[in-house]
Amino acid sequence: MSVKGLEKIVAAHSLFAGLGGGFLELVAGCARNVRFEAGQYLFHEGEIASEIYLIREGSVALEISAPGQGCMTFMSAGPDDVVGLSWIVPPYHWTFDTRAQEDTRAISLDAICLRTKCDADPALGYEVMKRFAPTIVARLHSTRLQLLDLYGTHS
């Protein structure tokens, strides 16, 4: 796909909606289209978080497994969601597995590419961080509520 086509797709995702002229080009320069079949893993816990996924279609399950408890999905992500915050923080390791729940299409951003551009241009870096921060905070809120086990019987 052409760079212009990718730019359009990146701009269409809510994470980068309204991203200013030059920045969009820089971000799209790190992007490629990816697709996963149902059941396919996008990545596993412990691996290097080398990519960021902007989900376009389908859905993915973020999983964590524990002996005796099997594999637990703690979050799902669907169209317009982002998977991948670990690329921001060294040493850039995934802390969970991510599996496609159904056939899924996404934009993958190359983490090293985006980090390098952000480091080179702090204005871009700040813009990107501002766009990731709400997702980080929302995930924290959600995790807090899940920890409370609101619907449990508390007995």
Least separation in angstroms between CB 83 and other proteins: 12
Q: Which stretch binds other proteins (CB under 8 A): 18-26, 88-96, 99-107, 127-135?
A: 99-107
Say if residue 25 is exposed, middle or buried (CB neighbours under 10 Å; 0-12, 13-18, 19+). Answer: middle
Query: Does 126 interact with other proteins (rule: CB under 8 A)?
Result: no
Number of neighbours of residue 15 by Cβ within 10 angstroms: 20
Query: Does 125 interact with other proteins (rule: CB under 8 A)?
Result: no
The alpha-carbon radius of gyration of the chain (Å, integer) is 16
Query: Does 153 interact with other proteins (rule: CB under 8 A)?
Result: yes
DSSP 3-state percent helix, strand, coil across the chain (nearest 5): 40, 30, 30
Query: Does 66 interact with other proteins (rule: CB under 8 A)?
Result: no
When binding is defined by CB under 8 A, the residue of 26, 43, 54, 63 that contacts other proteins is: 63
Closest to other proteins by CB, 50 or 76: 76
**Cα–Cα–Cα angle for 133, 50, 146, nearest 5°?**
45
Q: Which stretch binds other proteins (CB under 8 A): 21-29, 42-50, 114-122, 141-149?
A: 141-149
Least separation in angstroms between CB 148 and other proteins: 6
Query: Does 2 interact with other proteins (rule: CB under 8 A)?
Result: no
Residues in CB range of 98: below 8 A, 6 or more apart: 41, 42, 43, 53, 60, 61, 62, 63, 83
